[in-house]
Chains A and B, each alone.
Chain A
Amino acid sequence: MIFREVEDRDLILRSRHGDVEAFNVLVSRWEKRVYNYLLRQLRGREDALDLTQESFLKAYQNIGRLQEVDRFPQWLFRIAHNEAISLFRRNKRLVDDEVPEVSDGGAVSVAGSAVYPAELTLAVARALELLTPEQRETVVLKVYHGFKFDEVAEIVSCPVSTVKSRLYSAFAALKGTLAPAAKPSV
């Protein structure tokens, strides 16, 4: 892990001096994470892919402005976050504007009963859809990408207290739906 961080740092420094190949390696390392971060917010693969590409383009164009090389992950995710916000505004299709499909009593209504992995995946997807975009983004950054509270705050540009509030309220909602589903069957 330490080696990986050192290598990333070296790649970033080389990229700042115009080393295209170094940046290519950075892209190959981070593209999956950025893509999945955007996918969990946008829910559309094409949009997620387009924004991932756009995020890396902007990262390449602005990598000289990155002040602290060690903060590259937050910086990169912030670019992706901004791209997502821009897309929301362009398309006027904020996720919370869309009324989620009413559960047919299947995957989401799983409280109290164990489900198969595929059902659990669907339940998670549906449970995440019930969150606000801000709550969902906080959960994604914290749970799936392991950022600290202050790092999430930096990415989404809001106070740490707001990040905590969003995560706690999101987890309260998710726990009621998912915890029973994740419980191993007896």
Chain B
Amino acid sequence: MAPHDLRDYLFDELTAEQRTEVETYLETSPEAREELDGLRLTRKALLSVPDEEIPRRIAFVSDKVFEPSWAARVWRELWAGAPRVGFGMAAVIVAFFGGLWLAQPTLTVDGAGWQVAFGGPAQAVEAVAEPLPESGSGGEPGLTQEQVQAVVAEVVARYGAESEARLRGDLAVLVSKQGSESDARLQAAVNGLRGEAEQAWWLLKTKIDSITYTTSAEMRPAGLPR
């Protein structure tokens, strides 16, 4: 009996050692040789039918039928170019941080916003100009809430005291003249005092706005328009 299958021998599926064993066996077995001859003839008959030439060329990928979708092309390009994109991004990042290092920027963050100065504080340039606050709006930039409250209290105290003193004085004058003047004139005087009080309040408000604007504008570098 053959040590290995003769078909495996025919199809070269045996190791070199196994092939040697089969060949040794074939020398001593005419039946095995005949069997192997039959297999060889069968294979020879099969191989006598040659491959056909292809009737027409296969459409290559450059043809329309092979053209991939735009999404596939974009993805492939991105994937194929990933190393280049990576190097490019790395170069941009290095250039960015190198430039920053050379410029020696200073970043300042406070209630007025944030500022970036390049090369030193003398050449400080405001990066983002905050819009000036509307008159009367709360939280003025440049001062803390406590500072603003203190300034307002001081202004109110000063102008309030002046206004009150002036009103009291005018009232004393009126009282001294009361006996000789009519009610109509008294009413006119009261109206005048009321107008004066309103004017005093307007003045007070203007002062507060002026102080707020000044303190905000002081944050600007010299030379910039107010």
Contacts and interface: CB of A to CB of B under 8 A. Distances in A.
A174 interface: yes
A181 to B, nearest CB: 6
B45 A18 contact: no
A30 to B, nearest CB: 9
B58 interface: yes
A133 B55 CA distance: 24
Q: Which of A21, A57, A182 has the most chain B CB atoms inside 10 A of its CB?
A: A182
A6 interface: no
Interface string B34-49: 0000110111111111
A56 B77 CA distance: 21
A60 B49 contact: no
Range of interface residues on A (Cβ < 8 Å): 35 or more
Range of interface residues on B (Cβ < 8 Å): 20 to 34
Contacts of B61: 20, 23-24, 27, 56, 60
A39 B56 CA distance: 14
Contacts of B56: 49
Contacts, number: 106
A144 B58 contact: no
A168 interface: yes
A167 interface: yes
Contacts of A149: 11, 13
B7 A168 contact: yes
A163 B38 CA distance: 21
B66 A31 contact: no
Interface in B53-68: 53-62, 65-66, 68
B51 A123 contact: no
B173 interface: no
